[in-house]
Structure 1
Amino acid sequence: MRCFECHRSGADEVAEAVCCQCGVAVCRQHARIEKQELHKDAGLGKSTHALSARRVVCPVCARAEHSP
Structure 2
Amino acid sequence: MHCYDCYEEGVESVAVAVCVECGAGACPRHLHRDPEPVRRSSATGRVWSAHDARRMTCLVCHKSLHPDGR
TM range (shorter): 0.7 to 0.9
Report percent identity of matched pairs. Answer: 33
Aligned residue identity for 1:51: H
Over the residues paired in the alignment, what is the CA RMSD in angstroms? 1.8
Q: Which residue of structure 1 lines up, in the alignment, with residue 37 of structure 2?
A: 37
Q: Which residue of structure 1 lines up, in the alignment, with residue 5 of structure 2?
A: 5
Deviations 1:10-62 (A, max 9, x none): 1111111110111000111111111011223463x7x3414101111001111
Judge conservation of contact 1:2–1:12 (CA < 8 Å) in 2: yes
Deviating 4+ runs (over 6 angstroms): none
Does residue 56 in structure 1 map to residue 56 in structure 2? yes
**Unaligned 5+ runs, structure 1:** none
**Unaligned 5+ runs, structure 2:** none
TM-score (norm 1): 0.80
Q: Which residue of structure 1 lines up, in the alignment, with residue 25 of structure 2?
A: 25
Alignment length (residue pairs)? 66
